[in-house]
Amino acid sequence: MRIKIATVGETVLRAEARPLTVEEIRSTAIRELIEHMRETLQDAPGVGLAAPQVGLPLQLAVIEDKAEYHRALSETELAERARRPVPFHVVINPSLHLLEPPQASFFEGCLSLPGFTAVVPRSRRVAVECLNEQGDAVRIEADGWYARILQHEIDHLHGTLYIDRMWSRSFCSLDNYSRFWKAKTARELAMEFRLAGDTAP
């Protein structure tokens, strides 16, 4: 079942999500929620979806970056972003640790802000301590685009959207991103927007 995705302006996207107990995680209701979120993510399509995006202030997110999503990017773009396929998995009650300063800056989008994108600085390497869908404790170490996805989704659990972290002058429609910015390297983007006086918050 596909769930309606909340869009910017809805208060649930700005609320602090609550943690789940192990009993809740193992309940039928949460198992069904995870499956519905998976279907919604694949239908969108997207690479991550947090529970607040489907109207529930819970510390739960699903992630999957399929190889087929990479076809629109060149080998050079994939290498620069360190983007590789990520299998479907669930993160619950995550604690995020940045292993490098947030200095990797690329365009980023969000299912809750459809039709737009902006440059967002993120850490290239992170560690996440969380529970999985069985309620077991796991530690994830991620780099490149996977690290970006984790940071983006965990932000959602704390009421933060990418527009809070973006270089404001880079904000644009997806059409204009494709026309003017898609082929530019991270260095070129930094030169363009830093010279224009933009700074990350």
Active site positions, annotated: 153
Element (H, E) at 149: helix 144-156
* Rounded-to-integer distance, Cα 35 and Cα 62, Å: 9
SS3 94: strand
Q: How far is CA 95 from CA 28, 89, 120, in A?
A: 25, 16, 20
Nearest Cα neighbor of 7 from 114, 131, 126, 152 is 114
Nearest Cα neighbor of 200 from 90, 123, 142 is 123
Q: Which residues contact 145 (CB under 8 A, 6 or more apart)?
A: 65, 81, 82, 83, 84
Q: Which residues contact 52 (CB under 8 A, 6 or more apart)?
A: 6, 12, 13, 15, 17, 58, 156, 157, 159
